[in-house]
Amino acid sequence: MNKPAVVSPVSGQVVVVGSINVDQVVRVNRHPRPGETLIGTSMVLLPGGKGANQAVAAARLGAAVALVGAVGSDGRADDATALLLDAGVDLTAVQRVPGPSGLALITVADDGENTIVVLPGANAAVVGESVTRSAGVIAGAAVLVLQGEIPAAGIAAAARLATGRLVLNLAPVIELETAVILRADPLVVNEHEAALVLSALRAETKPSSAGVELAGVELADVELVAGLRACGVPSVVLTRGALGAICADDAGTQEMPAPTVIAVDTSGAGDAFVGALSARLAVGDTLAAAVRLAVRVGAFAVLSEGTQPSYPMLNDELPAVHT
């Protein structure tokens, strides 16, 4: 039997400091090979950006959400924020700066897999000084959510201001102060991102021997999680696409399977996961319980095209995990 999407309303505020984009989504039968030209089958412009996506995902599940970020002075800004407003996200701390808004060029193949190139645009303005203008909003968050699509200085400034739980989705992986990564509770990464972060942490820290493999050895997912924990990360969530996720904290390490679904478009599924995770942590769920819900939300998101338009509402029925 499916459980309700969310079992109780979210009371603590989620604040997302992150990117706001317009997504240009092109559908193709398959992805082109290097040097190859293909004919696309359709193109659509949709709101996106990892920060905005995660804010919409959390708000649609009942969280009180505020977004700190920037849009440009171009005509795309209103398109970029349309579904944020529709979801009830507080945009008071979103600045409008001269120049273009962020743009993501996304190609989606018939098998649902995607390629993404991001042009930061106004997101490049979300630096330390810009973020500190919203110090009160950030400090008041029960859960602060950060990602890698804004400058490292902006991420570091937000992390210093946080008084609540810090969720760091280090995607894409950018160079950050070790102290920021070690505040993540949890650090949310996929297997490729986990390997990059672990390599960087090992260069800066002296991890304990438990769960740590030799440098240069390709690590299994559970070993990556153990390695990050051994380096001092308080908790880790490793997303694994159709395989679900692994979460680890002081309560132990657990593998959470994902529902079996036929993917239409996988773009933005990871952001749906992070938004749901953050919403549930804000209400006081354990990490394991929050991840268990988040894998189902991620599975829901791949069932239709686009990022934000594909995210579930509070009362939507989510795909079930069959064990």
Catalytic residue among 90, 249, 271, 285: 271
Q: Pick the closest to residue 279 from 7, 82, 1 (CA basis).
A: 7
Q: Is the pLDDT of residue 92 over 90?
A: yes
306-323 pLDDT tens trace: 889 999 998 899 999 876
Terminal CA-CA length for the chain: 11
Overall number of domains in the chain: 1
The answer to whether residue 44 is domain-embedded is no
What does the DSSP 8-state code read for residue 244?
-
Which range has highest mean pLDDT (7-21, 203-217, 289-303)?
Answer: 289-303
34-54 confidence digits (pLDDT tens): 999 999 999 988 899 999 999
- Determine the Cα–Cα distance for residues 71 and 298; give it in Å rounded to an integer: 26
Please say if 271 is a catalytic residue: yes
Does position 217 have pLDDT exceeding 80, yes or no? no
For residue 114, being part of any structural domain is answered with: no
Q: Which of 227, 30, 200 is nearest to 113 (CA)?
A: 30
In a domain, 219, yes or no: yes
Say how far residue 238 (Cα) sits from the centre of its chain: 12
Whether 111 is covered by a domain: the verdict is no
Our CA angle for 130, 201, 131, nearest 5°, is 5
Q: In the prediction, which pLDDT does 69 show?
A: 98
Strand partners, 116: 106
Domain annotation covers residue 66: yes
Instruction: Tell whether the model's pLDDT for residue 198 goes beyond 80.
Output: yes
pLDDT for 207? 62
Give the pLDDT mean for 271-282: 98
Residues 192-203 have a mean pLDDT of 94
Of 98-102, 214-218, 296-300, 311-315, the least confident: 214-218
Q: What is the pLDDT of residues 135-183, one digit of tens each?
A: 999 999 999 999 999 999 999 999 999 999 999 999 999 999 999 999 9
CA–CA dist 133, 128 (Å, integer)? 9
Beta carbons within 8 Å of 72's beta carbon, 6+ residues apart: 96, 97, 98, 99, 100, 101, 102, 121, 122
User: In this structure, are residues 306 and 112 in contact, taking their beta carbons and an 8 Å threshold?
Assistant: no
* Confidence at 285, pLDDT banded by 50, 70, 90: very high
Q: With helix as H, strand as E and coil as C, how does 61-112 read? A: CCCCEEEEEEECCCCHHHHHHHHHHHHCCECCCEEECCCCCEEEEEEECCCC
Is residue 176 included in any domain, yes or no? yes
Amino acid at 226: A
- Measured between alpha carbons, how far is 200 from 273 in angstroms, rounded to an integer? 25
Domain interval for residue 53: 14-20+49-101+121-310
Residue that has been written with the tokens 């701390």 in this structure: 93
At 92, list the tokens. 């008071």
Give residue 209's pLDDT. Answer: 46
Q: Please determine, for residue 197, whether its predicted confidence score (pLDDT) is greater than 70.
A: yes
CA distances from 258 to 30, 218, 274 (A): 25, 24, 15
Instruction: Specify the range with the lowest mean pLDDT, choosing from 50-54, 88-92, 200-204, 308-312.
Output: 200-204
Task: Name the average pLDDT for the chain.
Answer: 91
32 falls within a domain: no
Positive or negative torsion for Cα 152, 115, 269, 231: negative
DSSP 210: T
Per-residue confidence band for 208, with pLDDT thresholds at 50, 70 and 90: low
**Sheet order of strands, 114-119 included:** 42-48, 21-27, 102-108, 114-119
Q: What CATH number has the domain bearing residue 205?
A: 3.40.1190.20
- What's the CA gap between 153 and 315, in Å, rounded? 38
Distance (Å, whole) CA 50 – CA 121: 14
Residue 34 belongs to a domain:
no
Beta carbons within 8 Å of 83's beta carbon, 6+ residues apart: 47, 52, 56, 308, 309
- Reply yes or no on whether the pLDDT at 289 is more than 80: yes
* pLDDT, tens only, 244-268: 999 999 999 999 999 999 998 888 9
The structure tokens listed for 31 are: 């992805």
User: Which two structure tokens, joined as six digits, stand for 255?
Assistant: 């593998």
CB atoms within 10 A of CB 206: 8
Tokens matching residue 70: 């920037």
Six token digits for residue 178: 């070790």
